Amino acid sequence: MKFIHAADIHLDSPLSGLSAYRDAPVELLRTATRDAFSNLVSEAIEESVDFVVIAGDLYDGNWKDYNTGVFFSREMGRLNAAGIPVYLIYGNHDAESDTTKKLSLPANVHAFSANKPQTFRIPELKVALHGQSFKHAATTTNLVNGYPAPDTGWLNIGVLHTALEGYAAHASYAPCSLAELATKGYQY
């Protein structure tokens, strides 16, 4: 079994700090997130992975225009045509928004609920993916506490976007510790 796990893609991030650098290759860097994501999708197809996990911050906040969503949907369509499912949570930068809710995605994309932890199962692989999306960007509660017990005899994958054990210089979103994650008994 093979899968790809990605996070913090920040599609179409405005990269506003570029203006501080006079000779920065602005146009090249502005397309970097899309190029990298297309490469990730191509690699998934070439390697015939069994599934893809996107663990939060796919987007960098609200979209400047709907082209960001159209691009993502098109890339998910490529995975759909290859028979590759995608399991997606929304993190602090792309917490459930009206724009995201209106985006029509192919049937292969499975987004974790923001209301409570959810489990997606892939019976032919005996894989159970447990996760929860952020409802709000400022999610400061420990989401791990609500994650379910592992499915016995299955490979259990916990999907979470977190500021693990905190970092003083970074906002503390969905804080938890390595010990709390380990007590869940998930293999990944």
**Residue 188 located in a structural domain:** no
Q: What's the rounded Cα separation, in Å, for the pair 61 and 137?
A: 9
**Residue 91 located in a structural domain:** yes
Range of the domain at 107: 3-182
**Residue 42 located in a structural domain:** yes
Question: What whole-number percentage of the chain has pLDDT above 70?
Answer: 79
Distance of CA 169 to the CA centre of its chain: 23
**Residue 187 located in a structural domain:** no
Q: What is the mean pLDDT of residues 47-51?
A: 98
Q: Report residue 53 as tokens.
A: 């996990």
173 has pLDDT over 90 = no
Per-residue model confidence (pLDDT) at position 92 = 65
Q: Which residues contact 142 (CB under 8 A, 6 or more apart)?
A: 174, 175, 176, 180
Q: What's the rounded Cα separation, in Å, for the pair 129 and 17?
A: 36
How high does pLDDT run on average in the chain? 83
118 has pLDDT over 90 = yes
**Is 19 in a helix, a strand, or coil?**
helix
Q: What is the mean pLDDT of residues 156-182?
A: 75
DSSP structural state of residue 59:
B
The CATH number assigned to the domain holding 126 equals 3.60.21.10
Per residue in 91-105, pLDDT (tens digit) is 766 766 555 666 788
**Residue 151 located in a structural domain:** yes
**Is 30 in a helix, a strand, or coil?**
helix
How many domains is the chain built from?
1
Per residue in 2-36, pLDDT (tens digit) is 999 998 887 777 665 666 677 767 667 667 888 89
Q: How confident is the model at residue 70 (pLDDT cuts 50, 70, 90)?
A: confident
Residue with tokens 């906040």: 61
**Is 147 in a helix, a strand, or coil?**
coil
Per-residue model confidence (pLDDT) at position 26 = 64
**Residue 154 located in a structural domain:** yes
